[in-house]
Structure 1
Amino acid sequence: MDERVLMERSQGPVTHSRLVRELTALGLRPGDTLMFHTALSALGYVPGGPLTVISALREVLGEEGTLLVYSGWNDAPPYDFTDWPAPWQEAVRAEHPAYDPELSEGTHDNGRLPEALRRLPGARRTRHPDSFVALGARAKALTDAVPWDDPYGAGGPLGRLVATGGRVLLLGAPLDTLTVLHHAEALAQAPGKRHLTYEVPVLDAEGNRVWQRYWDIDTEDEAFDYGQVVPEGVWPFTVIAREALAAGIGLRGRVGAAECHLFEAPELVRFGVEWIERNITAA
């Protein structure tokens, strides 16, 4: 998009100092452990792009703060490759590169900010290929030794974010990007929960390429059959988030040209678990 159009949308450049002021006004605090999702173009024209946004977030959070993003792995083998003809499977098993936390590119689905954060000095990434990246005082605690199975459960980065009283920021990103609600799905006790088993090449402790099987809730399609309780074509996280906001959970504000939301992760996950258990059980 043309920079002049973006600048008119945001009524001038969304500079580092402006971001610091407006993020502070939204409610961010020094020492926060913050998972964030960003739609950069929604902010308007940001001189310097992703690195300017990350720099402003780090300034607001200070030395004791921590940033967390979902990274994933852009070049992971397809989940269903085990259904392919045997020769195709064998070729993939023989030569597909292993996930490397240091080098493997994150998914392109979540914009430019996660990759920019991953490349910064001091950033830490999970050895689990459904990966998260953190930078700051609690980065190691959030990303080290994530279990192969149930990575969205209590032992994964999202569970640790909630356990430490972390927060979630949607910086111009839509409500359906609330990845933390996958943790609510992992915790919820409701009928019909869907799980998948995947096989992925990874590096073992000695740096050797090995195939690892892991088990998880179904985040590719949906962990539950939401069709009877959510309007067709609407992602369930959007509905849960709207109802949470209506219940007084979360803050709203503007940063640059973007509508933004700030949630307390434990409060939002608790609401999500209750919503899933109530609605899915009743469906």
Structure 2
Amino acid sequence: MPTPPPTGPLVTRATLATDLRALGVRPGETLLAHSSLRSLGWVNGGAIAVVQGLLDALGPDGTLVVPTQSGGLSDPALWTSPPVPEEWWETIRDTMPGYDPLVTPTRGVGVVPETVRTWPGALRSAHPQTSFAAVGPRAAKIVEDHAPDCRLGELSPLARLEAMGARVLLLGAGYDSCTSFHLAEYRIPSPRVAVGRPVRTAEGSRWEVVTEVSISSEQFDELGADFERDRPVVRGLVGAADTRLFSVADAVAYAERWLELHRSREEWATTDDAPAPRRT
């Protein structure tokens, strides 16, 4: 059977920038973007055109930030999609290449963040599992000194974005991808978990285990629905994508109150989900 023609709308770099400005993206601001390329429609130029459109809307004084997580750098004992034999675990830990911000690809966050990661002038933070990449004049300040035992907390780019007055753009993405909500988990009583990953040293890669705050996005869709009901969230279409725009600081403050009310400590202690131990 012949391949059916693509469905629209036809989206270009220029129409993306126009739609983003109409939504309220401001030249010169700092924007943390979570995105779904597929949701936009038929994009001429794919992820490259999306990044160009975002940068056009932000202008030369704006800064684009994306999550560039590498959840595959995780303990094979936790892998479920698919699992690997237990007798392999130690060898995998011993031989897994350590995180290199210039080389390690993103995983599980879509093709747009991977495109930003390799963009000319992009800078990437140092955390081996939950890094962020940024392009623009504030990039260095945002990504520097990401502590290796602080995935998404006070010593991560999220806290700097909050302090800078940055906004979140959910470009066809749901609230389950909103990393800003995780910063709230660091500010309320939280279980802690052991997290293993490979790190790069002068002598080569080695396996290390650190103690981290337990984090989970399991309730973030429900949290996001309440946040959107109670707080100012701009909604509109960019291409065909249902898109949301809101303050990082507002999202973190709301999530802090919400999580204290809605999350049980017992449930939380068993639902740590970042980085995702997924292998495909």
TM-score normalised to the size of structure 1? 0.83
Count matched residues.
259
Pairs within 5 Å for 1:135-214: 135-189=135-189, 193-204=190-201, 206=202, 208-214=204-210
The corresponding residue for 1:57 is 54
d(CA) in 1 for partners of 2:95, 2:264? 44
Asked if the contact 1:150/1:215 (under 8 Å) is kept, the reply is no
d(CA) in 1 for partners of 2:75, 2:90? 14
Asked if the contact 1:3/1:45 (under 8 Å) is kept, the reply is no
Question: What amino acid sits opposite 2:22 in the alignment?
Answer: A
For residue 150 of structure 2, give the secondary structure of its aligned residue in structure 1: coil
d(CA) in 2 for partners of 1:272, 1:74? 24
For residue 106 of structure 1, give the secondary structure of its aligned residue in structure 2: coil
Question: What amino acid sits opposite 1:276 in the alignment?
Answer: L
For residue 223 of structure 2, give the secondary structure of its aligned residue in structure 1: helix
d(CA) in 2 for partners of 1:120, 1:3? 33
1:21-57 deviation line (CA, Å, top 9, x unaligned): 1100101011111111111121111100111010011
Gaps in structure 1 of 5+ consecutive residues: 224-234
Question: What amino acid sits opposite 1:123 in the alignment?
Answer: A
Structure 2 counterpart of 1:72, from 53, 56, 69: 69
Alignment of 1:215 with 2:211, yes or no, is: yes
d(CA) in 2 for partners of 1:79, 1:218? 18
Question: What amino acid sits opposite 1:243 in the alignment?
Answer: D
The corresponding residue for 1:124 is 123
Structure 1 counterpart of 2:250, from 267, 271, 276: 267
Alignment of 1:104 with 2:83, yes or no, is: no
For residue 75 of structure 1, give the secondary structure of its aligned residue in structure 2: coil
Q: CA deviation at 1:96?
A: 1.7
1:145-175 deviation line (CA, Å, top 9, x unaligned): 1112223111101111111111100111122
* RMSD, aligned α-carbons: 2.5
Question: What amino acid sits opposite 1:209 in the alignment?
Answer: S
Alignment of 1:18 with 2:37, yes or no, is: no
Q: CA deviation at 1:216?
A: 2.1
Structure 1 residue ranges, 4+ long, deviating more than 6 angstroms after superposition: none
Question: What amino acid sits opposite 2:124 in the alignment?
Answer: R
Percent identical residues: 33
Question: What amino acid sits opposite 2:125 in the alignment?
Answer: T
Pair 99,282 (structure 1): closer, same or farther in 2 beyond 3 Å: closer
Alignment of 1:6 with 2:7, yes or no, is: yes
For residue 159 of structure 2, give the secondary structure of its aligned residue in structure 1: helix
d(CA) in 1 for partners of 2:258, 2:44? 40
TM-score normalised to the size of structure 2? 0.84
Q: CA deviation at 1:185?
A: 1.3
